[in-house]
Amino acid sequence: MMNAARTHFASGSALMPDALRERLVALRRDLHQHPELAFAEQRTSEVLARELSALSPVRVDKVARTGLIARIAGRNPDAPWVAIRGDIDALPIQEATGLPFASANAGVMHACGHDVHATWAVGAAALLSDAPADGDVLIVLQPAEEIGEGAAAVLESGLLDDVKAIFGAHVDRRFTVGQVVAQAGPLAASADVFEIVLSGRGAHGARPHESTDPIVCMAALISALQTIVSRRVNPASPAVVTVGMVSAGTAPNIIPDRAELRGTLRATDRETRALLHSELREISTHIAAAHHLEARVTFGAGVPPVINNARAAEWAMDAASHVVGAASVVPLGITNMAGEDFAWYQERIPGCFLRIGAREADQPMIPAHSPHFDVAEDAIVVGAAVLAECARRASTALFAACK
């Protein structure tokens, strides 16, 4: 909040003109007050299109139903293109912050800071209009991150086919405003959902020997699945197997013929991700067989892990050091096991995903996806300046390499 302790990134700082800062803060509050869910970001998209059009970009394209891509001209038409991505969707949460610009849409809230991400992408576009990169920069305002589908839809459009590097970032209240995480390697986990259906034979609850009981099997299976992380995965590789939903049965005295489990798998490298899939299938099939049942295992297409490209991370690190000072470029510390669909871009384009500190020093830690989540607004300024500088540095290095 604006009345909280100010950092030296507040208005008057060298990172951006006061007028631009004020415009961005107003934009963020407007987006925050009118949050929209994945692929329903109609108003959000209109507001953002208006803001981007004011910067006289080369062009603004609609993408992925409710997304936008604005192309900001570089200094040299032959220089490679780079991209900056900001996600724009909100979550199905009832806001409880009490902010004057709290959500006006019941049950919908920007509880993950994507209002800030959209705003700093516009801010980066403004900074790049004033001080262009060597090549054109594509500002990607991506819908539907929260359901893990927006990035894939943007890529499908083909509009990023000529992009040689991509940068994006997330607000992070574990870090104070002015701190930035920009490092190579894993930054967020893969997130896959699984479903296991156990099929057996139902019977009267009083005559279990006439059944093949999927509930007893399910109990054994849930315990056995915990050995994947504890006994199959290398302890040095972070991994999660969580069963989050179970369902079976219709009455206390009936053994059902079917039980279902659903859960999520997380890993930060491709090998571990593949191992979680194969072990889950293996254990399910064999535990089911031991109970004279059949297991059908299916996986939902989830997001890959975010793994920052070494070169892109170097440009990001240099950019962050330039903007906030080397001492404020800090390590992530603990591995983030949440998913982030920026990973889809990184499957095709060398990229770096950053974390931008979003808590005033005297404010408490509030996790994202909480109804009380809020972001120190100076994070907008830092995010915009760092991402614009990432684009400039990547553009310059890529152009030099192709000359």
Binding residues (CB under 5 A) for Ni ion: these are 112
CB neighbours of residue 237 within 10 Å: 16
Looking at beta carbons only, is 112 or 241 nearer to Ni ion?
112
Distance of CA 342 to the CA centre of its chain: 6
Residue 11, phi then psi, degrees to nearest 5: -50, 145
Looking at beta carbons only, is 315 or 342 nearer to Ni ion?
342
d(CA 279, CA 253): 34
Hey, what amino acid is at 116? V
| Nearest distance from C-beta of residue 69 to Ni ion, angstroms | 20
DSSP structure class, residue 293: -
Hey, what amino acid is at 385? A
d(CA 314, CA 164): 15
- Answer for the pair 71, 136: CB distance below 8 angstroms, yes or no: yes
> DSSP of 72-127, one letter per residue?
E--S-TTSPEEEEEEE---BS-------TT--SSTT-B--SSHHHHHHHHHHHHHH
Looking at beta carbons only, is 193 or 203 nearer to Ni ion?
193
| Nearest distance from C-beta of residue 114 to Ni ion, angstroms | 6
d(CA 390, CA 139): 13
DSSP structure class, residue 212: B
Looking at beta carbons only, is 85 or 164 nearer to Ni ion?
85
| Nearest distance from C-beta of residue 170 to Ni ion, angstroms | 6
Looking at beta carbons only, is 51 or 172 nearer to Ni ion?
172
Residue nearest to Ni ion (CB): 112
Looking at beta carbons only, is 115 or 134 nearer to Ni ion?
115
Contacts of 303 (CB under 8 A, 6+ apart): 148, 151, 190, 191, 339, 340, 341, 343, 344
Q: Name the token pair of 133.
A: 């990169």
| Nearest distance from C-beta of residue 230 to Ni ion, angstroms | 29
Looking at beta carbons only, is 112 or 261 nearer to Ni ion?
112
Q: Name the token pair of 120.
A: 């700093």
| Nearest distance from C-beta of residue 385 to Ni ion, angstroms | 20
| Nearest distance from C-beta of residue 187 to Ni ion, angstroms | 13
| Nearest distance from C-beta of residue 52 to Ni ion, angstroms | 21
